[in-house]
Amino acid sequence: MPRKDIAVKPKQQTKLQLQKPKLYKVILNNDDYTPREFVTIVLKAVFRMSSETSNRVMMTAHEFCKAVVVVCTKDIAETKSTEANDLAKEASFPLLFTTEPEE
Ligand code: TYC
């Protein structure tokens, strides 16, 4: 039986504060040589974009020099941009994906 004359102090709880992971942008950079179709092929293959989205992102880079492809963790951003840059190198195109921290 619990005694009513003794106050039991609740144990102090330690709050575990999880830090939000810092996010990174994958940037598609325009150039004058890579065919538009090749850019959309890479966007579809590596970033799983639909034809419509890949075309829109490619045209954004084409018109404004750069386009944000995706925002994700550093690890994923670096893996994906390396994968995409490797495809461009294999095909001998200067297409370049870069990563940068999101403000
Ligand atoms: N500017 C290229 C052309 O006219 C096409 C292109 C678009 C290349 C986007 C890279 O990120 C890019 N052939």
**Token pair belonging to 66:** 């750069």
Taking alpha carbons only, the member of 38, 101, 18, 67 closest to residue 46 is 38
pLDDT at 20: 85
Summarize pLDDT for 39-91 with one digit per residue, the tens. 999 999 999 999 999 999 999 999 999 999 999 999 999 999 999 999 999 99
Which atom of ligand 1 lies nearest, measured to the CA of 95?
A: 10
pLDDT at 12 over 80: no
Cα(31) to centroid(ligand 1), Å: 5
- Binned at pLDDT 50, 70 and 90, residue 14 comes out as confident
Which residues have any ligand 1 atom within 6 Å of their CB? 28-32, 34-36, 39, 58, 61-62, 95
Distance separating alpha carbons of residues 61 and 75, to the nearest angstrom: 23
- Binned at pLDDT 50, 70 and 90, residue 2 comes out as low
